[in-house]
Amino acid sequence: SAVISQKPSRDICQRGTSLTIQCQVDSQVTMMFWYRQQPGQSLTLIATANQGSEATYESGFVIDKFPISRPNLTFSTLTVSNMSPEDSSIYLCSVEGTLAGENYGYTFGSGTRLTVV
Amino acid sequence: SQQGEEDPQALSIQEGENATMNCSYKTSINNLQWYRQNSGRGLVHLILIRSNEREKHSGRLRVTLDTSKKSSSLLITASRAADTASYFCATVVYNQGGKLIFGQGTELSVKP
């Protein structure tokens, strides 16, 4: 399965600023997924990032707030813009594992714990 | 949006006991997966069961899937303190481009 390096692992940011989170994968993948996990909650999908096209956002998430870049098949960034305390969460990237075209599970980055003060 | 619900939300047992967690989902699926998360960090994939399978085993884990009831269960046998974590079911929804949608999760505490 793929190995994902995600950074930063944690940050404390001032409200109104932006933070960019990076995920580097050790193999080429078609789609990368970005999730948010609010305190004590489950994971919510923010968007799907495809190389060479704009990311596809889930309901409740918009590009102006969470711009995503996908410059190649091994790298993606998620920016949390104009942050407020409500953005304090863990953010995780993920890629799908496939074998002979079938899904066999997803690999996750170690997460970025963001605190907005 | 969340695909479904899990119960119980929290479970506390003694080492050596079995732990059973249940998951329900709402739409047609390709497969259902279970993940573990320690201390709010990255998730670890535990087991995947396909929509045409009814039961699957992996070590101390046993997963069942009932597509007619849109439900699954995860059984951890002979639990250990190291099994203490949050457990999530997640589904790959049919015809939605491989998106993985998570349930609410069960917080398992195994006391030594």
- Chain B: nearest CA to A41, how far in angstroms? 7
* Closest Cβ opposite residue B105 in set A31, A42, A48: A42
Q: Helix or strand or coil: residue A85?
A: helix
Mean of pLDDT values over B62-86 = 97
* Alpha helices (H) in chain A, listed in sequence order: none
* Nearest CB to A105 within list B45, B104, B105: B45
pLDDT in tens, chain A (117 residues): 789 999 999 999 999 999 999 999 999 998 999 999 999 999 999 999 988 888 999 999 999 999 999 999 999 999 999 999 999 999 999 998 877 667 778 999 999 999 999
Short-list A37, A7, A3, CA closest to A22: A7
Angstrom distance (rounded) from CA B60 to CA B75? 8
Report the 10 Å Cβ neighbour count for B106: 22
Tell me what pLDDT residue B6 has: 82
Phi first, then psi, for residue B97 (nearest 5°) are: 65, 30
Structure tokens at B95: 């015809």
Average confidence score pLDDT of chain B: 91
pLDDT classification of B3: cutoffs 50, 70, 90 = low
Looking at per-residue pLDDT, the higher value among B39 and B14 belongs to: B14
